[in-house]
Every structure is written in C-alpha cells, then in structure tokens.
Chains A and B, each alone.
Chain A
Amino acid sequence: MRGTKVIQALAGLAGLAICASAHAIEWYFREPGSKLAADVDWLHQLVMWLIIVIFAVVFGAMFYACYAHRKSKGHKAEQFHENTAVELVWTIIPAIILVAIAWPATKVVIAQKDTSAPDLTIKVTGYQWKWGYDYVKGEGEGISFLSTLATPRAQIEGREPKGEHYLLEVDNNLVVPLGKKIRVITTAADVVHSWWVPSFGAKQDAIPGFLRDLWFRPEKTGVFRSQCVELCGKEHGFMPIVVEVMSADDYTKWVAQFKEKAAKSAAADTRALSTEDLMQRGAKIYQDTCVACHGAKGEGSPAIKAPALAGSKTATGPKEAHIDTVLQGRANTAMQSFKALGNADLAAVITYERNSWGNKGGEVQPAEVAAHRK
C-alpha cells in the first residue's frame, strides 16, 4: 500500500509536468541556436534516457520488494547477505556505461574548448552591475560600449506592469554576425561575474585580473537573452545579457552606423554644455548607473559600504578628486572606474552629483574630464 502511494505521488508530479508543458511553460533547455548547444542537448538526452532506464530497473526491484516481500503478506526473510559474482557484475556494468557516456562527452568538451581561428573577437568585461563589450578583432574592430539593464525600477518595484522582456532587456545589445565563429574573451573589473548565453551553449566566468575565453557560432538570427550567473553582489539579478544575431549584411550596416554615431558623439564629447543640459543629462545617467549603490536621494547604501553622496566630501570638495574617483574608481570597493563613459556623460553626472540633494559643488565641463584622463 505504501509503495502504491509513492507511485501515486510520482504520477501526480508527472501529471503536473505534463499539464505545464501543455501551457508552454519553460521547463527544458532553450531551443539550440548553435551546433554546440545542439550537441549539449543531444548529450543530455542520451544521459537522461540511460538514467531513466537504470532508475526503472533499480526502483522497479525496490518497489516490487516493497510489494511482494512484506511481512504482512507472510513473506519470510531469507538470510543471504553476500554474493561476489553479483557484486562484481554491478560494479563492472556501471563502469562500462560510464565509459559509454564519457566518450561522447569528451568530444563535446574538446570542441567547446577550441577557440582557435575566430572570425570576430569580442572582449566582455563584467562590472557591478553591467557588461562592457569591446570588439577587439574582426569586422567592427574598435566598437566599444556598455550594456545596462533597461527595465525601469518602477516595474521591479511593482509600480508599473511588467513588460514582456522584464529583466531581460538592455540599453545596448551585443550585436554579432550570423554564421561566424565568435570568440568571447571574458574578464571583470571588480568581482567574479559569469557570462552566459544558453541558446549558444556558452558560459564562462568573468574573473577580475584574468582573461578567459569561449566561442560560439550562431546559426539563427534573432535576439537571445540571459543573465549574469555568478553572484556578484547586490544587483546580481539585474545585469542581463542580450545578444542580437544579424545577417552578415545587416551586421556590416550596423557597424557602419555605430561608427558614424560614435564619431559624431566623440566630436561633441568635449564641447561645453550649459548647466541645465549637464543637470538633465546627469540625472538620467545617475538613474542608469549610480542609483543602485548611491541611492535615489544620494543617501548611499551602508550594506555594501557605498557612501552617501549628499553632503559627502568628494561631492562638495575640490572637483579634481571627484573626477578622479569617477574615472579611476576606488580600490577594494564596489566603486569601479567609469572611464568607459564619454567625457560629456561623466561631466554631466558629476555636475548632477555636485548640485543635487543640497550639495553645492559647482559644475564640471567635459573638457575638464578629458584633461584628467590618463
């Protein structure tokens, strides 16, 4: 009777799983977008079927014993307790099965590790809490940008309805061409992060001070979404990874557009701005980049040793120290270098910090930031 209860419970769970899949709820790997991901999927199915068969045999035996060899049915216990032959068999057979699994797995491991001869090399840098992308070699060389969560705080805090790509949307997607071998070099600026795109079977920790790499060859155009998968502090759950795969032609167009835009903004980057422009632009950048640690009212967040900016020495004292802090970061704290941002953006956010929440620190112009860059 107990045995049947266990079976009933399991049947219930299986039923749950089935009705869930009928409602198209995610419960299996995402559809592979590269051969590597397809290989992993295939390997997983092979192992799962083996497991299901072994499970059925072993627990078939257990449940049969639970049913047939019970005292209440008058079964008398036999007293055997050793059988060398049987024990050898169930040591050797599993060993053979394991070799049968290890062989195809080894082939996939070797393929996964082969990052040689890429068409495009991109450096990915993990920051608390966003990703930086630098196109190092190949078409698009020189392109460089940050990629930050685009979901508004209001959605996270439940003040607005959540959008379709809640927590899986960024301001700047990583764009790669279809069918090319992409090598991704990972590193980090502060703590360990981990860069993952499930559809490509690609995951690699981003380790501060070290370079590691992975590769994938996208076989489908479209947008592929994921998240940081190594605990990296407070906003770990809020640094998505979005990869957009374009056809080779579209990619070439995108590169041209990006470079044109970059050249324009570089020219504009040291031009003097009015105080209102600085404050307005600074408020937006502060919301995107600084608010997670320093708070909406500049109150800081003691939990992660992020100081309050309202009334702080740095934000009210000499502006050189403020510019240096933002450009270089502070060692051994979550305050990283923000030099990847443009001069105008940095000048704007520094001006905003120096003139909000009761601070009166005066404005900073883009040229001053440019002068401080090493």
Chain B
Amino acid sequence: MSAVVDTHGHGHEGHDHGHGHHGPYGGIMRWITTTNHKDIGTLYLWFSFIMFSVGGVMALVIRTELFTPGLQIVNPDFFNQMTTMHGLIMVFGAIMPVFVGFANWQIPMMIGAPDMAFARLNNWSFWLLPFAATLLILSFFMPGGAPGVGWTMYSPLTVQMGIGMDFTIFAVHLLGMSSILGSINIITTILNMRAPGMTLMRMPLFVWTWLITAYLLVAAMPVLAGAVTMTLTDRHFGTSFFNAAGGGDPVLYQHIFWFFGHPEVYIIALPGFGVISQVIPAFSRKPLFGYASMVYATSAIAILSFIVWAHHMYTVGMPVTGQLFFMYATILIAVPTGVKVFNWVTTMWKGSLTFETPMLFACGFLFMFTLGGFTGLVLALVPIDIQLHDTYYVVAHFHYVMVAGALFAAFAGVYFWIPKWTGRMYNETLGKIHFWATLIFFNMIFFVQHFLGMAGMPRRIPDYPLMFETWNRISTIGAFGMGLAQILFFYIVLDTIRNGKPAPQLPWEGADSLEWTHLPTPVPYHTFETQPVIR
C-alpha cells in the first residue's frame, strides 16, 4: 500500500483545545469508563499479563510437585485443581485476551478507523473479564476448593465436584460473553469502518486473521456455553445429558466440548499468525510472500477446524469410519498450515534481514510452532495417537502450539508495537536476553516431555513411576528458568514506559501499515478523526 501521509490525522492535537472538555476522566475512572480503543487495549494487555502470572505460578506448583516421585508439596486433589485452573486461566485469561488487546490497539489504526464500532460494548466486553477471573479464583475458597477436573471439564467427573465447579461454569459463561461481544465488535469494525481505498484484499494480514478469528469465536463460544450449561443442569436440576443411567451419554459432552475446543485452538493461533505476518516482512524489508494465498490458507484452516474435533477423542471408541474420517480431515489441515510456513520462510528468502527482538521471537515462533505442528501430524494418525493420547507427548505438543506459537507471537507483537504505543524504545539487549532465555527454558520444559509421553507417562498425575524422574527434573528446572525470564519481561516493559528512549517516527525500516505511515509516534489519544484515503 502507498505511504501517503494524511495531515488530518496529525493535526489533531493542535486544535484539541477548541473542543472544550473532551479528554478522559483522570485516575481510576478513566479506566472504568473508557470507550477509547487504545485504553481498552491496554486494559486487555495488562489483564492478560496478570492472568499469565497467576497461571504461571500454578504451573510452577505443578512442576515443583513433579520434580521428584512421591507426594511432597500438594495433595493429589489440590494438584488436580492446579492443572484445571492453570489450563483455564492460561487459555481464557491470558492467551485469548492478549490478542484481543492487540486487536483493540491495532485494528482501528491499521484500517484507518477512529475507534472500534461499538465503543461502549467494547468497554463492557473488557470489564466482564475481571469478574470472570474473580469467580475462577474464588472457587479455590469454596468448600471442596476449585474443580479438579482438567480444563476440559469432562462429565461425569464434574458432577462429583463441589460448589467451586459452579463458580467455574459461571466464569466460563462470562468469559464466553466477553469473547462474543468483542468479536461482534471486531467484525463490525473491520467490515464497516475501513478507510476509503482499504479494500479487504489490501488489509494487513493481522486484520484478516482477526476477522476470521472473530467469526470462529462467534460460532464456537456458544457451543462451550451450551456444554457447561448442560453440566450445570446435570449437577443441580436432575437432567441426564451426560449420565447413561438417565439415558444420556458422557461422550456427548466430549463431542460438544471439542466442537468448541478445536476451533478454539485456531482462535488462539490465528491472531498470532497475523502478528507474525506483520513482523517478518518488516524485518525482511520485503513484502509478505503470497498475501492472497495466506488469506485463503487462513480461511481454509478456519473452515477445516470445524470438522476435525473428534481427533481429540480417538480413544473413546468411535466406529472405524469415524476414526478414518477425522484422521483424513485432520491431516488435511497440514496443507494450508504448510502453505503459511512456506510463505513466511519465502518472505525471509532474499530479504535484507535484521534480528531485533520482534524478529527473533518471530523466527522462534516459526521454528517452534512448526515443531508443534509436526507433532500434531503425528497425533493426527489414529494408531499413533492411541499410544500417545493423554500422555505427556500431548502436553508437549499443545504447549509448542500455545506457548511457542501463540505466546511467542504475542511477545513479538509487544516488542514490535510498544514503540508505537508508548512512544519509547525498549532495551534491545534485555529484549534479546528475554528471547534467548525464553527459548532455551521453554525447550527445556517441553522438549523432554515428548520423551516422557512416548515412554508412557500419563498427563494430570501428581506422582509418577521412578523411570520418569530424569526428564521431570529437567522439565522442572526449565520451568523456573522460564518463570524468571518472564519477570525480566515485566521489568523490560516497565523500564520502557518509564525510562525508554523516545522512539523515532518509524523505528522499523520495513514496517509499512497505516499505524506506521499515517500516524505520529506515539499515537495521540484519538486517531483518524478524519479518514485517511488509501491510494
């Protein structure tokens, strides 16, 4: 796209005084009442960092207990609560909101819109989250504690849980509402508020991936709400959706859950793909290779994600035709995913590469996420999955996708855009240390878990046979290293906000989307009061 600087976008601050009182409230009320997409984006980002820390501490409890065989620091019941809450908090509290934060900050700026379409709805979609998180955390203080059922909440184990289970169910309802409202807002903004000349096929890929993700959310989240509501009525109102004695079927829950659960994987991954598709071209100083095929591949992945859910359930005893259908559909996803990886590598090919922290995280993403994709291919094959299902191999696999995929992409995005958001540069040396520490410790935690799974260690066990000790020790040491590296990240962000050197107008030579070319750094509180025209 062309880089025509639109002066209206800049002139804003100069004539602001003419509007009289037009700024935000001061203090805490600014954040509670805000309808500004940047403020709400910031809220989402900080919220997800807090949840990331809480979920991370839970991961450390799990890893500490697993350092050596025997029960040392927690009892099995609390251990189950930890695995459950770690999963729920990381998926719904950390990874999903961080990308909604990116969407809030970036989508209006990238498509030339003044704000999100529904500003008050935007405020509400965020403010549902702290209440949902409070419900989740409160469940620990209920009689019986938090549910110890795994984040998948399989029935009928859920029926045995105490009142903490109901807190969790209502928390999931709130989180789902928040996601659906946020998605409606994103879809409406993208479809209606693009600047003149910003056709769909000229949108930055980040915006495309979010458009597709938002549709996935709108389609998938109500299904989860349905599943947990049926659990709720089974628990309290005498229904038997998942109880064979009353004519129900426990496997029905799994079908419904994974009909949500597999699209959820792409809900988490696709916005990350979008971030990577912005970062790699910028640091390769070369346009993204195969823009159109990226859009088509993303759409293909999204559509396929709705017909592969039962690959999480190969061991429930489906008929052979069912297993074969889901196996074929699942390995088919490797084709569009492969296209994306090839496109990213080809974008780097014959570019003019530099390796600042965002690019390091993007390369780390590319390498590690592909590794997670390959183990996904291994798990897609029914006979191998039957050996590996519910073992640590699966734990390793999805952490390669969720952490080395989504989390690395989120880090790439933060380092990439923080100069734009704050007007200050982060400390490059510290950023690089953060990257290398995260990469090395991440692999220390999870690479060895492939071995554990293949050797037969089941997941979600608080204690294990002696032969698994070595890998578990390495994994636990890695976990503490990974935790320390994230404290460094927190310091880097604070240091940038407080003491960072002022960022130049265009800190990244190759960045060319609207927020870099049409807006000053840092961006003013209100942007694009007059729409830019894209030529």
- Which residues from chain A sit less than 8 Å from chain B, CB to CB? 2, 5-6, 9, 13, 16-17, 20, 23, 25-30, 36-37, 39-40, 43-44, 47-48, 51, 54-55, 58-59, 61-62, 65-66, 69-72, 75-83, 86-87, 90-91, 94-95, 98, 101-102, 105-106, 108-110, 112-113, 155-158, 162, 164-168, 186, 190-192, 194, 196, 198, 201-205, 207-210, 212-213, 225-238, 301-305, 331-334
B436 within 8 A of A: yes
* Cβ–Cβ contact A205 & B463, under 8 A: no
B144 within 8 A of A: yes
* Cβ–Cβ contact A304 & B285, under 8 A: no
* Cβ–Cβ contact A203 & B370, under 8 A: no
Say yes or no: A301-B77 contact (C-beta < 8 A), given A203-B386, A212-B317.
Answer: yes
B21 within 8 A of A: no
B168 within 8 A of A: no
A291 to B145, CA, bound (A): 20
A97's nearest neighbour on chain B, judged by CB, is B334
* Cβ–Cβ contact B162 & A305, under 8 A: yes
A203 to B315, CA, bound (A): 7
A10's nearest neighbour on chain B, judged by CB, is B443
Q: Which residues does chain A contribute within 8 Å of B454, judged by CB atoms?
A: 27-29
Query: Chain B 271-285, CB within 8 Å of chain A: the 1/0 string?
Result: 000000000000011
* Cβ–Cβ contact B436 & A40, under 8 A: no
Of the candidates A6, A94, A166, A194, which one forms a contact with B315 in the assembled complex, judged by CB atoms under 8 Å apart?
A194
A78 to B353, CA, bound (A): 11
* Cβ–Cβ contact B461 & A20, under 8 A: no
* Cβ–Cβ contact B335 & A91, under 8 A: yes
* Cβ–Cβ contact A190 & B156, under 8 A: yes
Most interface-central of A9, A43, A81 (chain B CB within 10 A) = A81
Q: Which residues does chain A contribute within 8 Å of B33, judged by CB atoms?
A: none
Chain A nearest CB, measured from B522 CB (Å): 26
Q: Which residues does chain B contribute within 8 Å of A110, judged by CB atoms?
A: 320
* Cβ–Cβ contact B316 & A205, under 8 A: yes
B387's nearest neighbour on chain A, judged by CB, is A40
Q: Is the interface of B mostly helix, strand, loop or mixed?
A: helix
Can you add 5 more A-B contacts, CB < 8 Å, to A71-B352, A95-B335?
A55-B374, A191-B154, A198-B387, A203-B387, A304-B160
Chain A nearest CB, measured from B428 CB (Å): 13
Q: Which residues does chain B contribute within 8 Å of A65, judged by CB atoms?
A: 345, 348-351, 353
Query: Chain B 304-328, CB within 8 Å of chain A: the 1/0 string?
Result: 0000000000011101100110011
* Cβ–Cβ contact B348 & A27, under 8 A: no
* Cβ–Cβ contact B387 & A234, under 8 A: no
Of the candidates A101, A209, A213, which one forms a contact with B317 in the assembled complex, judged by CB atoms under 8 Å apart?
A213
Say yes or no: A58-B370 contact (C-beta < 8 A), given A77-B285, A166-B465, A304-B77.
Answer: yes
Q: Which residues does chain B contribute within 8 Å of A212, judged by CB atoms?
A: 316-317
B355 within 8 A of A: yes
Say yes or no: A207-B286 contact (C-beta < 8 A), given A25-B471, A65-B348, A230-B390.
Answer: no
B230 within 8 A of A: no
A113 to B324, CA, bound (A): 11
A254 to B192, CA, bound (A): 76
Say yes or no: A87-B250 contact (C-beta < 8 A), given A47-B378, A65-B353, A192-B154.
Answer: no
Of the candidates B290, B324, B367, which one forms a contact with A62 in the assembled complex, judged by CB atoms under 8 Å apart?
B367
Of the candidates A17, A23, A157, A208, which one forms a contact with B71 in the assembled complex, judged by CB atoms under 8 Å apart?
A157
Of the candidates A9, A207, A235, which one forms a contact with B443 in the assembled complex, judged by CB atoms under 8 Å apart?
A9
Of the candidates B286, B328, B386, which one forms a contact with A79 in the assembled complex, judged by CB atoms under 8 Å apart?
B286
A66's nearest neighbour on chain B, judged by CB, is B353
* Cβ–Cβ contact B317 & A204, under 8 A: yes
Q: Which residues does chain B contribute within 8 Å of A90, judged by CB atoms?
A: 338-339, 342
* Cβ–Cβ contact B76 & A237, under 8 A: yes
Q: Which residues does chain B contribute within 8 Å of A157, judged by CB atoms?
A: 70-71
B524 within 8 A of A: no
A66 to B244, CA, bound (A): 57
A191 to B436, CA, bound (A): 43
Say yes or no: A58-B374 contact (C-beta < 8 A), given A192-B154, A207-B250, A207-B251.
Answer: no
Say yes or no: A194-B350 contact (C-beta < 8 A), given A58-B370, A301-B77, A305-B160.
Answer: no
B466 within 8 A of A: yes
Most interface-central of B70, B286, B391, B465 (chain A CB within 10 A) = B465
* Cβ–Cβ contact B460 & A231, under 8 A: yes
Chain A nearest CB, measured from B7 CB (Å): 28
* Cβ–Cβ contact A28 & B378, under 8 A: no
B72 within 8 A of A: yes
Q: Which residues does chain B contribute within 8 Å of A83, judged by CB atoms?
A: 290
Chain B nearest CB, measured from A139 CB (Å): 26
* Cβ–Cβ contact A71 & B339, under 8 A: no
A122 to B297, CA, bound (A): 48
A54's nearest neighbour on chain B, judged by CB, is B374
B35 within 8 A of A: no
* Cβ–Cβ contact B383 & A66, under 8 A: no
A181 to B156, CA, bound (A): 32
Q: Which residues does chain B contribute within 8 Å of A305, judged by CB atoms?
A: 144, 160, 162
* Cβ–Cβ contact A66 & B70, under 8 A: no
Q: Which residues does chain A contribute within 8 Å of B346, judged by CB atoms?
A: 86
B234's nearest neighbour on chain A, judged by CB, is A332
* Cβ–Cβ contact B290 & A69, under 8 A: no
Q: Which residues does chain B contribute within 8 Å of A186, judged by CB atoms?
A: 317
Chain B nearest CB, measured from A102 CB (Å): 6
Chain B nearest CB, measured from A276 CB (Å): 33
* Cβ–Cβ contact B367 & A6, under 8 A: yes
Of the candidates A58, A106, A229, A331, which one forms a contact with B391 in the assembled complex, judged by CB atoms under 8 Å apart?
A229
Q: Which residues does chain A contribute within 8 Å of B389, judged by CB atoms?
A: 194, 203, 229
Most interface-central of A69, A95, A190, A228 (chain B CB within 10 A) = A69
B359's nearest neighbour on chain A, judged by CB, is A2
B198 within 8 A of A: no
A227 to B460, CA, bound (A): 12
* Cβ–Cβ contact A28 & B455, under 8 A: yes
Of the candidates B69, B353, B474, which one forms a contact with A75 in the assembled complex, judged by CB atoms under 8 Å apart?
B353
* Cβ–Cβ contact A210 & B471, under 8 A: no
Q: Which residues does chain B contribute within 8 Å of A102, judged by CB atoms?
A: 327-328, 331
* Cβ–Cβ contact A205 & B76, under 8 A: no
B467 within 8 A of A: yes
Q: Which residues does chain B contribute within 8 Å of A333, judged by CB atoms?
A: 160
Most interface-central of B150, B387, B464 (chain A CB within 10 A) = B387
Q: Which residues does chain A contribute within 8 Å of B439, judged by CB atoms?
A: 6, 9
Q: Which residues does chain B contribute within 8 Å of A234, judged by CB atoms?
A: 76-77, 80, 148
Say yes or no: A192-B288 contact (C-beta < 8 A), given A62-B348, A108-B383.
Answer: no
A124 to B392, CA, bound (A): 24
Q: Which residues does chain B contribute within 8 Å of A23, judged by CB atoms?
A: 470
A166 to B463, CA, bound (A): 10
A212 to B316, CA, bound (A): 8
* Cβ–Cβ contact A47 & B377, under 8 A: yes
* Cβ–Cβ contact B156 & A208, under 8 A: yes
Chain A nearest CB, measured from B439 CB (Å): 7
Q: Which residues does chain B contribute within 8 Å of A208, judged by CB atoms?
A: 156, 244, 250
Most interface-central of B161, B338, B439 (chain A CB within 10 A) = B338
A241 to B288, CA, bound (A): 53
Of the candidates A27, A81, A227, which one forms a contact with B455 in the assembled complex, judged by CB atoms under 8 Å apart?
A27
Query: Chain B 122-163, CB within 8 Å of chain A: the 1/0 string?
Result: 000000000000000000000111001110001011011110
Q: Which residues does chain A contribute within 8 Å of B332, judged by CB atoms?
A: 98
A124 to B144, CA, bound (A): 30
Q: Which residues does chain A contribute within 8 Å of B290, judged by CB atoms?
A: 81-83, 87
A105 to B387, CA, bound (A): 13
Most interface-central of B144, B160, B454, B471 (chain A CB within 10 A) = B160
Say yes or no: A61-B250 contact (C-beta < 8 A), given A40-B383, A78-B286.
Answer: no
* Cβ–Cβ contact B69 & A162, under 8 A: yes
A17's nearest neighbour on chain B, judged by CB, is B451
* Cβ–Cβ contact B383 & A69, under 8 A: no
* Cβ–Cβ contact A236 & B324, under 8 A: no
Q: Which residues does chain A contribute within 8 Å of B29, judged by CB atoms?
A: none
A205 to B156, CA, bound (A): 14
B495 within 8 A of A: no
6 pairs of A and B residues whose beta carbons are closest in the complex: A209-B244, A212-B317, A237-B461, A26-B455, A27-B451, A77-B352
